[in-house]
């Protein structure tokens, strides 16, 4: 019995060792992305098809991501998903490597309207669009006492006084005022910036109870906020689905406003750039991209062929994004936005 047991144990240890060797030979793709931004079923399908392991690490802001990468974390990941301004910054700093174009066979699936907006990388050499979105306006229809204008100037409406909020994000809020006045959300014109801040400070701020980029969804769901600027997924995520139609009026003004384009990029020090490109290409198979859209109930704008595979109704139509403008990198002029924002916050 002892001899048999020893043989069995030895065989088991050998098998286990071989198993470990087998596991070690699997490529590991390390994805650094936004919180709750990659559907698990899509990741698992990729792992199965390419016989690899995908490790996902999450961040909550471009700043968090960037700071980690420049402070020693760049060699820890393969793919990162920055917004457009950070793609520009990371390209300039030599932090990205070109996409292996031969493996990016789903390139043709990308909406030409998105490519037009990609002035930061028009040939998708370093960045492949993941999602194009924008913050909008949510009105609690059960609280509004009168008709309201469906523009950014709704924040001047006194019926929402002390029950309104805007995001604690100066590019977003100042960008709304710029868009309402017909200017670029990335203007570097002093007079245009001053006029936008004047509108914000004198007409909108008196009705606001706070600037908030995190808790507005919960406050809206409780009925404390009747009007707020923010992302649709936050509002819809907090209000019970049975109450969506009677409670929420979400819209993006026809003038458009600030928007973002998160793109998948391969880091310069990636250990498996070809597998990284396979992952990017896999995401853009229309049936896979549809799962991403369904998961968040996002509109179909980046990969138009995915719409035929969608099973959910988006929170807002893709057409609402047509006039939205990317917040592009404005270099040192950003400091002027921040200075103006501080003056607004002091008045809060």
Checking if the pLDDT of 17 tops 80, the result is no
Q: For the chain, what is the radius of gyration of the CA atoms? A: 24
User: Rounded mean pLDDT of 188-199?
Assistant: 97
* SS3 state of residue 255: coil
**pLDDT at residue 252, rounded to an integer:** 98
pLDDT at 14: 47
Averaged pLDDT for residues 140-150: 96
Interval 160-166 mean pLDDT: 97
Q: Which positions ≥6 away from 94 have C-beta within 8 Å?
A: 268
Residue 290's contacts (CB-CB under 8 Å, 6 or more residues apart) are 300, 306, 307, 308, 309, 310, 311
Q: What is the pLDDT of residue 327?
A: 92
* Band of residue 346 on the pLDDT scale cut at 50, 70, 90: confident
Per residue in 313-344, pLDDT (tens digit) is: 999 999 999 999 999 889 999 999 999 999 89
Q: What is the 3-state secondary structure (H, E, C) of 268-337?
A: CCCCCHHHHHHHHHHHCCHHHHHHHHHHHCCCCCCEHHHHHHCCCCCCCCHHHHCCCEECCCCHHHHHHH
pLDDT tens profile 246-270: 999 999 999 999 999 999 999 999 9
Kindly report the average pLDDT of the chain as a whole number. Answer: 92
* Cα–Cα nearest to 107, from 303, 308, 309: 303
Mean pLDDT of 93-112: 95
Q: What is the pLDDT, as a whole number, of residue 74? A: 87
The model's pTM: 0.85
* Cα–Cα dist 151/204, whole Å: 12
pLDDT of residue 36: 84
User: Which whole number is the average pLDDT over 188-198?
Assistant: 97
**pLDDT given for residue 348 in this prediction:** 64
171 band by pLDDT with thresholds 50, 70 and 90: very high
Instruction: Indicate if the pLDDT at residue 133 is higher than 60.
Output: yes
| Residue 213's pLDDT band (cuts 50, 70, 90) | confident
Please write the tens of the pLDDT for every residue from 57-83: 999 889 999 999 999 988 999 999 999
Q: How confident is the model at residue 2 (pLDDT cuts 50, 70, 90)?
A: very low
Q: How far, in Å, CA of 247 to CA of 218, rounded?
A: 14
């Amino acid at each position: 019995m002892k001899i048999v047991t020893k043989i069995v144990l030895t065989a088991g240890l050998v098998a286990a060792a071989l198993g470990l060797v087998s596991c070690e030979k699997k490529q590991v793709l390390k994805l650094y992305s936004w919180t709750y931004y990659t559907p698990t079923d899509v990741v698992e399908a990729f792992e199965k098809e390419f016989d690899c392991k995908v490790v996902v690490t999450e961040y909550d802001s471009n700043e968090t991501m960037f700071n980690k990468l420049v402070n020693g974390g760049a060699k820890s990941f393969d793919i990162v998903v920055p917004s457009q301004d950070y793609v520009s910054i990371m390209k300039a700093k030599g932090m990205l490597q070109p996409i292996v174009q031969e493996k990016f066979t789903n390139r043709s699936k990308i909406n030409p309207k998105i490519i037009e907006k990609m002035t930061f990388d028009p040939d998708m050499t370093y960045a492949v669009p993941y999602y194009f979105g924008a913050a909008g306006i949510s009105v609690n229809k059960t609280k509004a006492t009168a008709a309201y204008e469906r523009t950014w100037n709704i924040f001047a409406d006194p019926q929402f006084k002390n029950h309104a909020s805007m995001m604690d994000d100066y590019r977003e809020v100042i960008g709304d005022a710029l868009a309402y006045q017909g200017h670029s959300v990335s203007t570097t014109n002093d007079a245009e910036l001053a006029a936008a801040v004047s509108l914000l400070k004198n007409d909108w701020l008196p009705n606001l109870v706070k600037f908030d980029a995190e808790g507005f969804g919960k406050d809206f769901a409780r009925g404390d906020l009747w009007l707020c600027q923010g992302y649709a997924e936050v509002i819809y995520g907090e209000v019970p689905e049975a109450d969506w139609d009677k409670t929420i009026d979400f819209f993006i003004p026809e003038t458009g406003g600030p928007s973002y384009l998160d793109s998948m990029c391969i880091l310069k020090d990636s250990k498996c750039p070809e597998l990284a490109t396979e992952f990017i290409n896999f995401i853009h198979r229309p049936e896979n991209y549809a799962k991403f859209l369904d998961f968040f109930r996002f509109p179909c704008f980046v990969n138009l062929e995915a719409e035929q595979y969608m099973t959910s109704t988006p929170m807002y139509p893709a057409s609402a994004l047509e006039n939205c403008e990317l917040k592009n990198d404005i270099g040192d002029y950003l400091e002027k936005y921040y200075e103006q924002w501080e003056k607004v916050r002091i008045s809060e």
